[in-house]
Amino acid sequence: MSKRVRAHVNPLSITEEFHFEGFGNDHPVFVDVGAYRGEFMDDLSLQFPDHNFILFEIRRPIAEDLRKRFEGRDNCVIFHGDAGLNFQNILEPCIQQGAKIEQIFVNFPDPWFKDRHKKRRFISSKFLEKTAKWLPSETEFVFQTDQQFLFEETVEVLQESSYSTIEYFDTSPYGLQTDWESAKVSEGNTIYRMKFKQGEKLNS
């Protein structure tokens, strides 16, 4: 029987919180918010076999498939739930074990088009303000989307926050396209990409 997968899940309706003991080592960590089929992190783990990988996915059937895909891999963990709500619970233990959270990928996040749904977006002023209190300033976010309006509105949010060191870039990070990216590129869409972290605006 095929599994029913909802097209979108309102993250504000998912209130389950998780805890994580950390990986028990200080290896650098890559994080994927909305990992979907997991091919991006799977390929990245081949390039960085000594890193640890944290994957968040809000849709249960997809998270279950991710668990199967990464089964038996001690350096990869999957969390089913809202990445925003669980971000600190899951990442902070790794930092306490001496690990650097190297990059957090927000690849093709749900855009939530309507004004009244904007608070469901992953990158929001509230999220950035909360995160800046505990996430080391060296950690970089990588944000990619084919939605120009979402990209521009996110830049505005960042510029009003402590995460205003923004660097725009043109090609897929590490030469790896996500599933969503491949689909959008084959439709002829432009992809908008940036990295951002805490700090001042860059002069460019």
Ligand X SMILES: C[S@@+](CC[C@H](N)C(=O)[O-])C[C@H]1O[C@@H](n2cnc3c(N)ncnc32)[C@H](O)[C@@H]1O
Binder among 31, 41, 54, 83 for ligand X (CB under 6 A): 83
Binder among 29, 30, 34, 42 for ligand X (CB under 6 A): 34
Residue nearest to ligand X (CB): 34
* CA dihedral sign, ordered 67, 68, 72, 73: negative
Q: Of the two residues 22 and 109, which places its CB atom closer to ligand X in the complex?
A: 109
Angle at 171 between CA 166 and CA 174, to 5 degrees: 95
Q: Of the two residues 85 and 155, which places its CB atom closer to ligand X in the complex?
A: 85
Strand 101-107 relative to strand 76-80, pairing:
unpaired
If DSSP codes are grouped into helix, strand and coil, which group holds residue 198?
coil
Residue 50 is among the residues annotated as catalytic for this protein: no
Under the criterion CB under 6 A, does residue 143 sit at the interface with ligand X?
A: no
* CA dihedral sign, ordered 18, 19, 23, 29: positive
Catalytic residue among 110, 115, 170, 179: 110
DSSP H or E segment with residue 93: helix 83-96
Contact (Cβ atoms closer than 8 angstroms) between residue 125 and residue 161: yes
Stretch that binds ligand X, among 134-142, 148-156, 157-165, 175-183 (CB under 6 A): 175-183
Binding site for ligand X (CB under 6 A): 11, 33-34, 36, 56-59, 62, 82-84, 107-110, 122, 178-181
Active site residues: 110
